[in-house]
A and B are shown apart, each in its own frame.
Chain A
Amino acid sequence: MFKRLQPDAAGGAVTVFIDGKPFAARTTDSVAAALLAADADHCRTTPVSGAPRAPYCMMGVCFDCLVAIDGVGNRQACLIRVSEGMRVEIQRGKRTLGA
C-alpha cells in the first residue's frame, strides 16, 4: 500500500517483530512507519465497537496508531522509534492492566 520514497537510501536496518513475524525496519522509522512499510492494514481494533484502525495523523494527535510494544498496551506507534528486537503486537480492543 505504501512505498518508501527513497528505497535505496542509506541507513541501517533493525529487526522488529510484528505479531511475532520479523520485519526489517530502518533505524529512523517510527513504529507506525514500520507498520505501514510492512503493509499492516490495521494496527488495532477499537475498544468499544471493534472497528479496525491504522496510523493516521503520524504526529501524536489522533491516537489511532495504538499498539502493544514489549508487553505494554496503548502505546502511540507514531511517537516511538523502532529498536532492535522490539515486539510490536496489533492491539485487539481494550488493553489489559498488564499489557
Chain B
Amino acid sequence: MATMPDAGRDFDVAVIGGGLMGSAIAWGLARSGQRVAALDEGDIAYRASRGNFALIWVHSKGLGLAPYSAWTMRSANAWTEFAGMLESQTGIDVAFDRPGGFNLALSEREFEARRDLLQRIQDQRNMQRFEFEMIDRERVKQAIPQIGPEVVGASYSRFDGHCNALRLFRALNTGMQQLGTTYLSDHRVERIDYAAGAFRMTTRQGEVHAGKVVLAAGIDNVRLAPMVGLNIPVRPQRGQLIVTEKTAPFLHYPVQTVRQTDEGGVMIGDSQEEAGADATVGLDVTAVLASRAIRIFPQLAGLNIVRSWACLRVMTKDGFPIYDQSTTCPGAFNASCHSGVTLAAAHALFLAPQIAAGQLSADDFAPFSSRRFDVQALAA
C-alpha cells in the first residue's frame, strides 16, 4: 500500500474510514483539488459497506424528515452522471441501472400498510412530492412474470435503481488514487489532536497531519467524534444477506429485498436486528429471509446458496443521516448514514465540495445536524 515518509504526511484533508462513505467523500474531495489522505482500518474492521444491498432506493424513505427524502432523490438523480464520471475516469462500469423499483406485498394487509406509509411520506409538510404507484397483481406480473401466487400487488416508483457495489467500491478506490489521494490501509486512528488550525491523527504506523478531517468511520464515529468536539450517537444494527449461484437473467427490477445482480447472482437481504457488536450469521434469520424470498419467487427454491453473511450497519436514533461540522475544532466534519450506496453520488458531488471549501451550507445540512437529538439545545 501507499506509504510515505512522515515528513511528507501533510494533507489538506484526512478522511477517516475507507468504506463506501469515506471513499465517496475522498474521491469527491480529490476531484475538488484537495490533497487527500484516506485512512482505512485493516481487514478486521466491522465495515458496514460489506452489508450493502447495492440499491439506489428512494420511494419509501423519509417519513419523519422530509429533507431526507429530498436529499435521497437528489443523490439518485445525480447517479447517472456519477456513474458516468467514474467509468470515464477509471474504465470501471459500476452497472448503474434505474428501471424503477418494486416492493411486493404478500397480503392485502401488507399492501394497505405500504400504501399508507408511502402516502404519509408524501403528505408531510415541506415534502418535495414525487409520484409512486400502488399496482395490482396483474400489472406486477406483466413486469415480473415469476412472482408467486401469494403476491397480491406492489408499490412501484420509477426513481429506484441499483448498481454493482463491488465495482462501485473499486472504482472509487482506484479513482481517488488516480487523483493523487494517498490511501493508507491498516491505519486505525487512535487519537485526533487539534491545535492551531490543524489536525494530528495518531496511528500505530505514525502520524498524519491535515488541515481538515472528515469522520466517515461508520460506528467508530462514536469514539472519534468527541476528539473533535462532535457528538455522533450511532449504533450498530445487524443485517444478514444471502447470495445464490449465478443464474440467467430473470429479474430486471430491484425488488427491495431481492435483486439479481448484473452478473446473475440473486441477493436476498434486508434483515434488521439489534444485536450489539455481534456480526455472526444466525440460521434462524437467514431461514426467514430465504422462505420469504421463495414465497415471492417460488423458482428460487431450486437455486443453490453460495454465501450468506452478516454485517453491522450504521443506525442513528431516528434512522436519518448525521452531517455536522465542529464549532470547537473548525475543519472537522462528520458523515454518518445508513444508505452509503444511494447517497454515494450526493456525498461525492455535493457534500465533498462543501467540505473542500471548509463550510457546510445550512440550506443543505442544517436538518441533519446531531443537534436534533439535543433537547436542551433545541429548547434554548
Contacts and interface: CB of A to CB of B under 8 A. Distances in A.
A96 interface: yes
Contacts of A48: 246, 263-264
Contact of B302 (A47, A72, A93, A94): A72
B65 interface: no
Contact of B246 (A72, A95, A98): A95
Contacts of B146: 97
A74 interface: yes
B303 A97 contact: yes
B250 A74 contact: no
A74 B245 CA distance: 8
A94 B146 CA distance: 18
B205 interface: no
Interface in B300-345: 300, 302-304
A20 to B, nearest CB: 21
B80 interface: no
Most buried by A among B299, B302, B304: B302
B323 to A, nearest CB: 38
Nearest to B251: A97
Contact of B250 (A47, A72, A73, A97): A97
Contacts of A93: 248
Most buried by A among B248, B263, B300, B303: B248
Interface string A73-95: 11000000000000000000111
A48 B167 CA distance: 15
Contacts of A98: 299, 302
Contacts of B263: 47-48
Contacts of A97: 146, 247-248, 250, 299-300, 302-303
Interface string A32-65: 0000000000000001100000000000000000
Nearest to A97: B299
Contacts of A74: 245, 304
A48 B300 CA distance: 20
Contacts of B303: 97
A94 B304 contact: no
Interface in B280-308: 299-300, 302-304
Interface in B230-268: 245-250, 263-264
Nearest to A48: B263
Nearest to B300: A97
A96 B146 CA distance: 13
A98 B246 CA distance: 13
Nearest to A75: B304
Nearest to B146: A97
B262 to A, nearest CB: 10
Contacts of A73: 247
A93 B328 CA distance: 59
Contacts of A95: 245-248
A73 B302 CA distance: 9
A12 B197 CA distance: 85
A94 B261 CA distance: 13
Contacts of B246: 47-48, 94-95
14 contacts: A47-B246, A47-B264, A73-B247, A94-B247, A94-B248, A94-B264, A95-B245, A97-B146, A97-B247, A97-B248, A97-B299, A97-B302, A97-B303, A98-B302
Given A96-B247, A96-B248, A97-B247, 16 more contacts: A47-B246, A47-B263, A47-B264, A48-B246, A48-B264, A73-B247, A94-B247, A94-B248, A94-B249, A95-B245, A95-B247, A95-B248, A97-B146, A97-B248, A97-B250, A98-B302
- The list of the 9 closest CB pairs from A to B, nearest first, reads A97-B299, A47-B246, A96-B248, A94-B248, A94-B264, A94-B246, A74-B245, A94-B247, A95-B247
